[in-house]
Amino acid sequence: MSGLQSLFFFVVAIGVLVAFHEFGHFWVARGDVSADDLPYAFNRQALWKRSAIVAAGPVFNLMLAVILFWLILVIGETGIKPIVGPVAPGSLAALAGFQEQDEILSINQKDTPTWALTLDELLGQALNGQRDIVINVRTLEGEPQLRVLALSDEDVRDPEQLHQHLGLKPWSPKIPPVLGRLLPGDAAESAGLKSGDLVLSVDGQSVDDWQKWVAYIQSKANIAVDTVVLRDDVQMHFSVTPRQEFLADGSSVGKIGAGVEVPTALIDSLKVDYSYPLLDAVPLAFEKTAFYALATVKMIGKMFVGQASMENLSGPISIAQYAGQSAQMGFSAFLRFLALVSISLGVLNLLPVPVLDGGHLLFYSIEAVKGSPLSESTQVYFQKLGMAFLIGLMVVAMVMDVGRLLN
């Protein structure tokens, strides 16, 4: 997705979330106040009402997340079945006894019908400090079995490290090497290949799998490859020269601009549709919101005490990229992105940092204890500290964003 499209969906997301947040403040504080009605002004309200008005913004963000999760559950999603591919030797999955083509059914008794939900649940359990994650699977032979992932302290602290150590990836079935869409003017089309051609061999080596064909092409940048295909029951020879394309790490691969034609029956066998009835989705939506809110609080706490890397921070660049990527994945994926960011916005605003809603609530708590508000000069002093803290946090997040772009 282009940068402009990512920017557009970022603006849409922020617009929706900030508007809902401010609407929460307005909804609780609503009421006409004229110049003659100073007793009704905000700073003249009772302490409980001022506290309610301030807390309403973050609470509305959390309520929005509940609504969005409910919509996702009711609308339903189409995803890939969580069938395990080759398990990396020595990985957490290997130590837990995972076998290729195990199908993951649930994690700690929570159903995970798709890969996306499986990864979300695994990372969420880790963020909540769960070290032994019990996973129900169905083996290739159809037998139900339990696998237990034993996480280390480092795995729990660092989601990126957990992802690297996990050793789980989706199962990729053998796909026939049939050409699908060809990029106009690229090497495949220029050599005379057509959509629907079945690749039989390259340089005298038989080919029966698309990945094998791709791997061979990638290793032959700027080298002519003798390719035999079957077209309309006739074998035909072509000389294809893959163009060289450089990757971010400086290495290069050969590419010919050809996609694969995946059989419809194969796609249908790997995808799954799921949704929940209207009422059944309500408690699940609250449960998901509470789960991610608690995970966010724990992650923030771990970063403050040095138990989690600051690389977990995301700035506007990363958020814009996530917005574009989720929108490209579909409506439900974009709603999930909105729900997660709304939870983050709600939780962050409740932090006891002056200038945030949580900072105001902290001032009101002190007022409740001492019987009078803090002096204006004291409040201004701490607000300046809070502003300096937030600016510093934003600078760190931006540095992390730029680092991700450069890497």
> How many residues make up the chain in this entry?
407
Beta bridge partners of 377: none
Together in a domain, 72 and 105: no
Q: Phi/psi zone of residue 355: left (φ > 0), alpha (ψ -120 to 50 degrees), beta?
A: left
Q: Is residue 271 part of a domain?
A: no
Same domain, 206 and 304: no
Q: What is the pTM of this model?
A: 0.66
Q: Which two tokens stand for residue 221?
A: 């940048």
- Same structural domain for residues 296 and 250? no
pLDDT tens digit string along 195-221?
999 999 999 999 999 988 899 999 999
Q: Can you tell me the mean pLDDT for 114-132?
A: 82
Closest CA to 289 of 77, 24, 72: 72
Overall number of domains in the chain: 3
User: Of the residues 173, 197, 226, which one is the last residue of a structural domain?
Assistant: 173
192 located within any domain: yes
Under DSSP, is residue 330 helix (H, G, I), strand (E, B) or coil?
coil
Cα separation values, 286 from 65, 261, 280, 282, 366, Å: 9, 41, 11, 7, 31
Annotated active-site positions, please?
22
The answer to whether the CB of 321 falls within 8 A of the CB of 6 is: yes
Judged by average pLDDT, the poorest of 63-77, 232-246, 362-376 is 362-376
Four-point Cα dihedral 283, 133, 163, 323, nearest 10:
0
251-267 per-residue burial string, b: 16 or more CB within 10 A, e: under 16? eebbbbbbebbeeeeee
Assign 366 to helix, strand or coil: helix
Identify whether 269 is part of a domain. no
| Full residue range of the structural domain in which residue 319 is found | 3-76+281-406
pLDDT at 257 over 80: yes
Higher pLDDT, 253 or 78: 253
What percent of the chain lies above the pLDDT cut of 70?
Answer: 85
Choice between 158 and 136, residue whose per-residue pLDDT is larger: 136
Instruction: Please tell me which residue, 37 or 158, carries the higher pLDDT value.
Output: 158
Does residue 270 lie within any of the structural domains?
no
And the tokens for 267? 């796609």
Residue 389 CB coordination number (10 Å): 15
pLDDT greater at residue 223 or residue 371 = 223
139, 173, 207 - which closes a domain: 173
Considering the chain, what percentage of its residues have pLDDT values greater than 90? 27
**pLDDT tens digits, residue range 315-364?**
777 777 777 777 777 788 888 888 988 898 888 888 888 888 888 888 88
> Would 35 be classed as within a structural domain?
yes
Tell me the pLDDT tens digit for each residue of 11-50: 666 666 666 666 665 666 665 555 555 566 666 777 888 8
Q: Do 293 and 393 belong together in one domain? A: yes
For residue 1, pLDDT over 60 is answered with no
pLDDT band at 163 (very low <50, low <70, confident <90, very high): confident
Domain of 250: which CATH number? Answer: 2.30.42.10
pLDDT at 2 over 60: no
Structural domain contains residue 30: yes
Q: Which of 187, 217, 188, 213 is nearest to 199 (CA)?
A: 213
Question: Bridge partners of 110?
Answer: 107
Is 391 a residue whose pLDDT tops 90?
no
Residue 202 lies in a domain: yes
In degrees and rounded to multiples of 5, residue 147 shows phi and psi of -125, 140
The answer to whether the beta carbons of residues 227 and 233 sit under 8 Å apart is no
Please give the Cα distance from 150 to 131 (Å, whole number): 6
pLDDT value for 292: 86
- What pLDDT is attached to residue 286? 93
376 pLDDT band (50/70/90 cuts)?
Answer: confident
Bigger pLDDT: 257 vs 265: 257
Q: Is the pLDDT of residue 121 over 60?
A: yes
pLDDT score recorded for residue 46: 78
Is the same domain home to 157 and 251? no
The verdict on residue 275 lying in a domain is no
The confidence score (pLDDT) of residue 38 equals: 57
The predicted pLDDT at position 307 comes to: 67
Cα–Cα distance between 58 and 63 in angstroms, integer?
9
pLDDT tens digits for range 39-93:
666 667 778 888 888 888 888 889 999 999 999 889 887 888 999 989 989 898 8
Range with lowest mean pLDDT among 6-20, 82-96, 178-192: 6-20
Among 26-35, 101-110, 247-256, 386-395, which range has the highest average pLDDT?
Answer: 101-110
Q: Tell which of 207, 226, 261 closes a domain.
A: 261
Q: Is residue 244 over pLDDT 70? A: yes
**Closest to 358 measured CA to CA, from 338, 383, 341:** 383
Is the Cα dihedral 172, 177, 183, 187 positive or negative? positive
Burial class (CB in 10 A: 0-12, 13-18, 19+), 194: middle
